[in-house]
Chains A and B, each alone.
Chain A
Amino acid sequence: MRTTARRAMGALALATAAAIVLAACGSDSKDKGGDKAAGDSGSKTVTLVSHDSFAASKSVLAEFTKETGYTVKVLRGGDAGAAVNQAILTKDHPRGDVFFGVDNTLLSRALDNGLFTPYTAKDLGQVPAGLQLDAGKHRVTPIDSGAVCVNYDRGYFTAHHLAPPQSFADLVKPAYKNLLVTENVSTSSPGLAFLLGTAATYGDGGWQGYWKQLKSNGVEVVDSWEQAYNDRFSGSSAGKQAKGDRPLVVSYASSPPAEVVGVTPEPAQSPVGVATGTCFQQIEFAGLLHGAKNTAGGQALIDFMLGKAFQEDMPLQMYVDPVRKDAALPPVFTKYGATVDHPATMPPDKIAADRDDWVGSWNSIVLK
């Protein structure tokens, strides 16, 4: 028996050895290209750390390589919150040179943890002052903006001869009872942004009362944007398949154009509309990571991200608006998109200071 066991062990040991060799070969061949080169100071690779929603056209990234000689390597891990937290945890050994994807709701956390080295981007003058939330120190550079707003199902409101809501105040009216679905503020970033929008509008002591009214008006809460928009909302194509029955949903100002991309023939209107008085502004920033190995490459990448080519590529890649004043929007955005003139805003340090308390009170008002 012992011999049998030994044979079995032999076979398994062989398999193990094979696995290790296999693994080693694989990682070697991969490392030769990027990782090892990134260690050199005169490296031609610049590493961008971001979240799962980051996207850019291949051709645009190739343009960056052509202009600067640097190749971009992208590392993504989890959603925006997880990516920022990971960057903070690894700040002593940063995994890359530039971080992109910290927004105004998370900005204070990133700055307080000393994640970034100041850098003034070349074309910063092209960015409206209102979007430059770290204008004094330039630790981060605004790259894109967007808004979280209530979206409505155009078909539903036409069929019911009802005007869609336009403002926060409209949402608590009896006409819109049991129509809205939103996201849990403790697990979803659009959910949190919507809460912040109500707090910015009704004030520190007023939003609780507003949410009590919203609750008695039958607001439904689900855990994620995916569920709200794809399953519960009646206006999205996914929601129609899933027999969603809520014609109002907390989503993005860019959802209407997203709904028509790839649809043939092109419809006259997007099936989704935006209640422009219910928006909260989101700005995403990029920053040079403190301790970056390739500082020059990182600076070049930030300049490029604020450049016209990248800015004009973003809308269809990530469904966000460019921050450059002179960047043109793609036709599908100008034709189907909504213009949000005065979204609600809130300073990042105030968000950081109040957020945990607010999430706690929101939980006991809305979920209990």
Chain B
Amino acid sequence: MSALRTAYGRGARTPRGTAHPAAAAVRRRAGVRAALMALPLLFFAAFFAYPVAAIVTRGLHEGGNWHLGRIADVAGDAGIRHVLWFTCWQAAASTALTLLVALPGAYVFARLDFPGRRLLRAVVTVPFVLPTVVAGSAFLALLGRDGFTDSLFGVRLDTGVWAILIAHVFFNYAVVVRTVGGLWAQLDPAQEEAARMLGASRLAAWRRVTLPALGPSVAAAALMVFLFTFTSFGVIQVLGGPMYSTLEVEIYRQTAEVFDLPTAAVLTLLQFAAVAVILALHGWAVRRSQSALRLVDPALTAHRPRGAAERTLLGGVLAVVALLILLPLGVLVARSFDTPSGYGLAFYRALGSTDGGTFSVAPWQTVGNSLRFAAIATVIALAVGGLAAAALVRRSSGRLVRGFDALLMLPLGTSAVTVGFGFLIALDKPPLDLRDSWLLVPLAQALVGTPFVVRVMLPVLRAVDERLREAAAVLGASPWRVWREVELPLVSRAVAIAAGFAFAVSLGEFGATVFIARPDDPTLPVAVARLLGRAGALNYGQAMALSTVLMLVCAASLLVLESLRTTGSGEL
């Protein structure tokens, strides 16, 4: 698109006399893009494409022959088709429900100014890192027999589709609040106000001005929620029961239990096909809706709730957060203090000893492991995802670049057991001999974190008004100053949100982590799972206590990350 504009933008400083400065700029830009894409491509080739291809090939290519007939057999099986159908529609329904419930929350957290806002925004992200078995159990306590809904309304939702959908909203609420809210907080309210001044109704102004501006970030959030629920495992098992199965559950069963790798390989291919369709839909939707926006300092857009409507909205959102998120979390915290000899700290004290036998280190030491892995995974995800987003920021993209965008999202839609087993058989020889290296864990976690970084940063990067940069340049600002004073303040919020996501994802990642055999340095979720797998009050209580620690670690990390960002811009 803007070869001319770029030439103009740099006009003041470009030496004249080259024959075709515009054409040269285009070529140079292509070069820059290729350079930006190199590292992400290498990362995905080595730690995603290669391991996944290795495990799929192992399944379909046995004893020197290709067993491609299996594809038709498995894909044609009525049971498998039913699983595929259920996987897709529950993900679509979960995504729709999450958007419905969380979009008002995104507005409230982005635009309204109320006491405890930052703390609450960190707290709603906590479910995101909780092991699903633990959170599922809390949901059973609320939705099951004698639970909250049963004693109040006589409704039991403990097994079945509704329990699955509600739990998916619980887990993914923060994805919408943070992704959409991040952009919403920076949208210039003057645009909507101008529309209203020109006579548009409040609704019309919102629909015509704000909604289109939010489009890309809503699409990004929807995509991530869809992929997360598409690969749902624990929620389906705990709240759906054995009657419900997703592709993720089937792949786990075929790989880890039945050991039917050919079937698992076909199921993985099916998963890829479904994810490819969704990515294509998403790409199509985004290409129709992107526009440059006026971004401003979030501190300028937040205001105290005005009028009855806004106060009602705030009240409604807080009520939803209290019922849907705080209540289940509260159940877990309460259980962590509920010892056989009354309420007390016995389970927390037990976390400091190795007597239980579950670990060769005291369980609380897993906090250090988790923080270390998550920090490294976050740095990797920010580097890989940031470079990728920078490469993707120009929209005049060819198929190749769009394919690159899609590739980055694939790990979210891929089974954790496929990645875990793939690592095992692919990364075991030079030059990539990472067998038993602790590095495998943060690498697997970064694979899941990177898509979040890309999806959070891309809408904001694209929204940065080109003219702002150009104006600054024309006024004589050096490129470094343009970056520091124009772009960085606008993008820094997105970087912080992206880092928060990557960190939270790494902290909570369980699936791939558990399959990567490593020396005895379990992460928090793995430790919780080990404790839950053993009978006895002490083990269960410690699992609850450790889950509470995980919640605190997550909330505290997010608050610290957010305060890092606000030191410069003074946002509340």
Contacts and interface: CB of A to CB of B under 8 A. Distances in A.
B357 A317 contact: yes
Nearest to B240: A223
A264 B341 CA distance: 7
Interface in A308-338: 316-319
Interface string A4-29: 11111100110110110011001100
Contacts of A58: 354, 360
A252 B534 CA distance: 10
Contacts of A255: 535
Interface in A21-68: 22-23, 26-27, 30-31, 34-35, 49, 52-53, 55-58, 61
B9 A9 contact: no
A318 B258 CA distance: 24
B268 to A, nearest CB: 15
B360 A4 contact: no
Contacts of B140: 231, 242
A3 B472 CA distance: 13
Interface centre among A4, A78, A83 (most CB of B within 10 A): A4
A215 interface: no
A251 interface: yes
B259 interface: yes
Contacts of B10: 1-3
Given A1-B6, A27-B437, A89 B535 contact: no
B348 interface: no
B390 A9 contact: yes
Nearest to B425: A89
Interface string A189-227: 000000000000000000000000000000001111111
B366 to A, nearest CB: 13
A85 interface: yes
Interface string B445-489: 000000000000000000000100110010000011011000100
Contacts of B249: 187
A181 to B, nearest CB: 11
Contacts of B554: none
A357 B215 CA distance: 51
B25 A34 contact: no
Interface stretch (A69-77, A117-125, A127-135, A166-174): A69-77
A348 interface: no
Task: Classify the secondary structure of B's interface with A.
Answer: helix
Given A23-B376, A26-B438, A53-B530, A4 B146 contact: no
Given A90-B428, A184-B242, A5 B32 contact: yes
B497 to A, nearest CB: 17
B519 A243 contact: no
Contacts, number: 244
Interface in A73-112: 73-79, 81-83, 85-86, 88-90, 93, 95, 109
B333 interface: no
Nearest to A230: B540
B73 interface: no
Task: Classify the secondary structure of A's interface with B.
Answer: helix
Contact of A223 (B6, B242, B255, B540): B242
A367 interface: yes
A252 B341 CA distance: 25
B519 A73 contact: yes
Interface in A337-351: none
Contacts of A49: 517
A352 to B, nearest CB: 11
B438 to A, nearest CB: 6
B39 interface: yes
Contacts of B9: 1
Contact of B253 (A52, A53, A186, A241): A186
A243 B470 CA distance: 64
Contacts of A27: 437-439
Contacts of A6: 32, 479
Contacts of A251: 535
B195 interface: no
A136 interface: no
B137 A19 contact: no
B256 interface: yes
Contact of A259 (B338, B424, B435, B537): B537
A263 interface: yes
B479 A3 contact: yes
Contacts of B438: 26-27, 30
A356 interface: yes
Contacts of B28: 2
A187 B257 contact: yes
B516 interface: yes
Contact of B6 (A2, A35, A229): A2
Given A7-B483, A77-B514, A230-B137, A238 B519 contact: no
Interface string B378-391: 01101110110010
22 contacts: A6-B32, A7-B480, A16-B387, A19-B379, A23-B376, A23-B439, A30-B438, A31-B437, A81-B256, A82-B255, A85-B421, A86-B515, A187-B253, A224-B238, A226-B533, A242-B137, A242-B140, A258-B535, A258-B536, A262-B350, A262-B356, A262-B537
Given A1-B470, A12-B382, A89-B424, 19 more contacts: A2-B32, A7-B483, A52-B514, A55-B358, A75-B518, A77-B517, A78-B420, A85-B421, A90-B424, A93-B428, A93-B435, A223-B242, A224-B238, A226-B133, A237-B537, A259-B536, A262-B536, A356-B258, A359-B258
A-B CB proximity, top 4 nearest = A77-B517, A3-B479, A237-B537, A262-B538
Interface of B: 6, 9-10, 25, 28-29, 32, 35-36, 39, 58, 133, 137, 140-141, 144-147, 237-238, 241-243, 249, 253, 255-259, 335, 338, 340-341, 350, 354, 356-360, 376, 379-380, 382-384, 386-387, 390, 393, 417, 420-421, 424-425, 428-429, 435-439, 442, 466, 469-470, 473, 479-480, 482-483, 487, 514-520, 526, 529-530, 532-541
